[in-house]
Amino acid sequence: MLNNFFKLFSKDVGIDLGTANVLVYAEGRGVVINEPSVVALNQKTGQVVAVGSEAKRMVGRTPAHISVIRPLVEGVISDFEITQEMLSYFIKKVHQPNSSFLTRPAVVVGVPSGITEVERRAVRDAARNSGAREVHLVEEPMAAAVGIRMPVLEPVGNMVVDMGGGTTDIAVISLGGLVSSMNLRVAGDRFNNDIINYVRDEFKLLLGERTAEDLKMAIGTALKPETPFESVVRGRDLVTGLPREVIITDSDVREATAKSVRVVIDGIKEVIEMTPPELVSDVMHRGIVMVGGGAYLKGLDKMVENETKIPTRVAEDPMTAVVRGCGIILENLNDFRNVLLEKEEDVSPQ
């Protein structure tokens, strides 16, 4: 009864709670929010100064009393209170200008595969404390497969590689479950750190995190391209302490990220080795699909295909695959109830 009452005032939402970005799907409206998982906090007052894109612009530019915090590390909550503030902000933003104390949506949240019971509880509690009346969790590779319209409920092998900011989820899916899967703590953020370390060691230049990310997106490649890329970057000279600029090539970025890319490739091979032969046959026929922001790394799909001998492609709009899946599950909850990690009873307000 209460459930139906709150539904009158709420739009149910699907949330991809990522290390780098939070994406939110609103019932009947599609993907309405895609913002960085960043919160700016005033240490003197304890007040949240900014959330999302506004907070991301402050990275590396704040005075001492303002901290820019990423409350999710490697796909799981590292700062519970800040995550709660962030979720609350996004849920209210979806319902503006009609947000009120009666706004209590049902929420489907995508989480990394293989997270612990404690980590699941943290996500569930954060969402509930942010105003959700009921919370359902789904593993991100499953949500991504649903989002790109794979037949996950049928007895057919579907292989997804979800490469986000903090983790890479690799899974073979059949009959509504993960048959074989692996969660690697190697993804976009690791690539950024690789670039920062490489430029520091080779050029004696200190780059910021945003500069490294921009460099990766502009000229990062997994395979040698036909046409070379290069980019001018500015940073602090570690010898003189003064600003300096250098030219970085795609070859430099490829060398910097080579070890991390190799870890991902080896992980994909290992998951294939763990998969039953019948499903491997399906995967060879249907191919591997890459989703997540990391799928944008130029040539990565071709490299996976070369290494595994299995056709590999990047999904259309790979960044939103997980949150679109959460939305589809949300709007067809009875059909997809078996793909959820566990059922949660409706939560009544205290």
SS (H, E, C) the chain: CHHHHHHCCCCCEEEEECCCEEEEEECCCEEEEEEECCEEEECCCCCEEEECHHHHCCCCCCCCCEEEECCEECCEECCHHHHHHHHHHHHHHHHCCCCCCCCCCEEEEEECCCCCHHHHHHHHHHHHHCCCCEEEEEEHHHHHHHHCCCCCCCCCCEEEEEECCCCEEEEEEECCEEEEEEEECCCHHHHHHHHHHHHHHHHCEECCHHHHHHHHHHHCECCCCCCCCEEEEEEEECCCCCEEEEEEEHHHHHHHHHHHHHHHHHHHHHHHHHCCHHHHHHHHHHCEEEECHHHHCECHHHHHHHHHCCCEEECCCHHHHHHHHHHHHHHCHHHHHHHCCCCCCCCCCC
Report whether 30 contacts 11 (CB < 8 A).
no
Binding site listing: 19-21, 165-167, 213-216
Binding site listing for ATP: 19-21, 165-167, 213-216
